[in-house]
Chains A and B, each alone.
Chain A
């Protein structure tokens, strides 16, 4: 290879590089990226341990109001009982004993208050405190059938939902929350009740919950269908 070859090859590579910049990259890479995404999901599932807990530093400062309020509707979703009747949470799908829980029922169940990190896909974290009921308890009460392998968490926020693998949903730190830092959830935080877990990225923690559906198959999700990873474990 002489100098001219080098300039040709180098210039070509540089042009290809610049063309790839600030884009999703060459379309030919799509298949490879999709393959890697599937394999990464296998790795993430293999890494998952039911009893590996998220730990936070003692005496850390809670995020409080600094935790962003994300929703996909044009305005903050508010449950209006005069239009929709009293809010209730349905637990159904592949279960032997479907449940319909009013807020009083939910608050009557054994609860957990935990300080955990909130891991956002964007790269920020927040130290948060939640009170609620373990999804694993609801699964037990609903008598989930053995063919259930996934759980879909559905909301009244313009169809926002995310489906989970059963193992992550049954993790002890995966809660259906009704309190944030000791106060009932506000609309910005996902009132009346929301899902929260440190074992998945924030977008998997569905707010404005209405239904929990156990499924034999995966059911995508709002951000998952728009190109984000489905598993999104931490």
Chain B
């Protein structure tokens, strides 16, 4: 166990590793001078070369378990949403019989059938109550894995995140010229992926509340009763679908190179959005920022560099070995 984990833990970037990059993205001669001077760390504070780690030979951007659970989640979540919409169509409203509901303007309008799975109410329920176990098991496997293996660090909120997220917003709105420096994910991505996790937990909890409104009545009452629990369940679904669609849009329009990374694990870090200075449909195929170009210096970047200098990444092998 500890052997596997150590293998998979992100290696500290060193000049030899980078110059051996089979992608040949960074001309070794351009990198080496800057590299040799840089202290080892997950990010090169000089801003001159590729982010460390993911593009190292034999290294996978995403652990195979993360890739597996990602695609299982795509299937499970799609099936849950589609079957859930079919169930919803049996009563596409929220008001109790003889009552009213404040907050759903589309009452009585069914969801288009082609978006649904199950064919009829009972069929959709069988799908929903079968796939829910897959969704939960897959989610627990993923969360348990990133907790034990250390990937949670890529998602954990940090103090500089709001400021970094704002810089990303400014960049996407052309209020800032240069792509902010980032780790594995930019701050907006971190926010999106964390929100997905939170929404998934809400979806499961509200789902239990409407599956067992009597036997788990405490949970149902906690959510304001059956009608509200069903509403929160619906909103959590809408949130998941919205974030999922944004995710797909951003993958296609900003970082299509992350698609193979989520399948085979291989990622051309020299083509990362940061290196291409990429906005949606802008610089999709480059230009790759030449080595030596410095990122626009901002307070956030400087703070990140300070963090990088003391980042515990280097001691990660010990961490994981200890836990396993």
Chain B: which residue is nearest A56 at the CB level?
Answer: B225
Q: Which of A14-22, A133-141, A185-193 contacts B (4 or more CB under 8 A)?
A: A14-22
B221 touches A55 (CB 8 A): yes
Q: Give a binary string over B258-289; 1 marks a CB under 8 Å from any A CB, 0 the rest.
A: 01100110000000000000000000000000
Is A21 touching B122 in the complex (CB atoms < 8 A)? no
Contact residues of B between 100 and 142, Cβ < 8 Å to A: 113-123, 125-127, 129-130, 133
B130 touches A120 (CB 8 A): no
A37 contacts partner chain B, Cβ-Cβ < 8 Å? yes
How would residues 64 to 88 of chain B score, 1 for a CB under 8 Å from any chain A CB and 0 otherwise? 0000000000000010001000011
Report A-chain residues with C-beta under 8 Å of the C-beta of B126.
Answer: 33, 36-37, 227, 229
How far apart are A35's CB and chain B's nearest CB, in angstroms?
8
Residues of A within 8 A of B119 (CB): 22-25
Instruction: Report the Cα distance A199→B212, complex, angstroms.
Output: 9
User: Measured between C-beta atoms, what is the minimum distance from B251 to chain A in Å?
Assistant: 12
B194 at the interface (CB under 8 A from A): no
Chain B residues near A223 (CB-CB < 8 A) = 122
- Nearest Cβ in chain A — how far from B168, in angstroms? 27
Cβ < 8 Å to B, chain A residues 197-234: 198-199, 223, 226-229, 233-234
Contact of A124 among B91, B130, B133, B225 (CB under 8 A): B91
For residue A32, CB closer than 8 A to chain B, the reply is yes
- Give the interface size class of chain A: 35 or more
| Residues of A with C-beta under 8 A to B216 | 47
Please indicate the chain A residues that have their CB under 8 angstroms from the CB of B96 in the complex.
63, 124-127
A24, A44, A68: the one contacting B120 at CB < 8 Å is A24
A119 and B226 within 8 A (CB): yes
Tally of contacts, chain A with chain B, CB under 8 A: 137
User: Does B201 belong to the interface (CB within 8 Å)?
Assistant: no
Per a CB cutoff under 8 Å, which of B97, B122, B215 touches A227?
Answer: B122
B130 near A32 with CB under 8 A, answer yes
In this complex, how many residues of chain B approach chain A with their Cβ under 8 Å: the count is 43
Closest CB in chain B relative to A62 CB, distance in Å: 7
- A68 close to B214 (CB less than 8 A): no
Contact digits for A117-155, partner B, Cβ 8 Å, 1 yes 0 no: 111111111110000000000000000000000000000
**Other-chain contact of A22, B78, B99, B116 (Cβ < 8 Å):** B116
Q: Report if A52-B214 is in contact (Cβ < 8 Å); known contacts: A21-B116, A36-B130, A126-B98.
A: yes
B227 at the interface (CB under 8 A from A): yes
A18 vs B112: C-alpha distance in the bound complex, in angstroms?
13
Task: List, in ascending order, chain A residues with CB within 8 A of B295's CB.
Answer: none
**Contact of A126 with B97 in the complex, beta carbons under 8 Å:** yes
A122 contacts B91, C-beta separation under 8 Å: yes
Q: From A46, which residue of chain B is reached at the shortest CB distance?
A: B215
Report the separation of the CA atoms of residues A24 and B260 in the bound assembly, to the nearest whole angstrom: 32
Binary contact track A155-190/B, C-beta < 8 Å → 1, others 0: 000000000000000000000000000000000000
- Asked whether any CB of chain B lies closer than 8 Å to the CB of A66, the reply is yes
Tell me the smallest distance from the CB of B268 to a CB of chain A, in Å: 13
**Residues 85-103 (chain A) with a chain B CB within 8 angstroms:** none
A67:B98 contact, CB within 8 angstroms: yes
* Shortest Cβ distance from residue B212 to the other chain A in the assembled complex, whole angstroms: 6
Contact B123 A49 (CB under 8 A): no
Q: Once the chains bind, are B263 and A198 in contact (CB under 8 Å)?
A: no
A198 to B117, CA, bound (A): 28
Contact across chains for A61 and B99 when beta carbons are under 8 A apart: yes
On whether A47 and B212 interact (CB within 8 A), knowing A33-B127, A36-B129, the answer reads yes
A37 and B88 alpha carbons, distance in the complex (Å): 20
B215 touches A234 (CB 8 A): yes
Decide: A21 near B117, CB < 8 A? Known: A119-B226, A125-B227.
yes
Extra contacts besides A22-B113, A121-B90 (9): CB < 8 Å: A1-B260, A17-B78, A123-B90, A123-B230, A127-B96, A227-B123, A228-B122, A229-B129, A233-B212
10 nearest A-B pairs in the assembled complex, by CB-CB distance: A66-B98, A36-B130, A126-B97, A63-B98, A122-B90, A24-B119, A123-B91, A227-B122, A24-B123, A122-B91
12 contacts between A and B (CB under 8 A): A29-B127, A36-B130, A52-B215, A55-B217, A61-B98, A62-B98, A123-B90, A127-B99, A226-B122, A233-B212, A233-B214, A234-B212
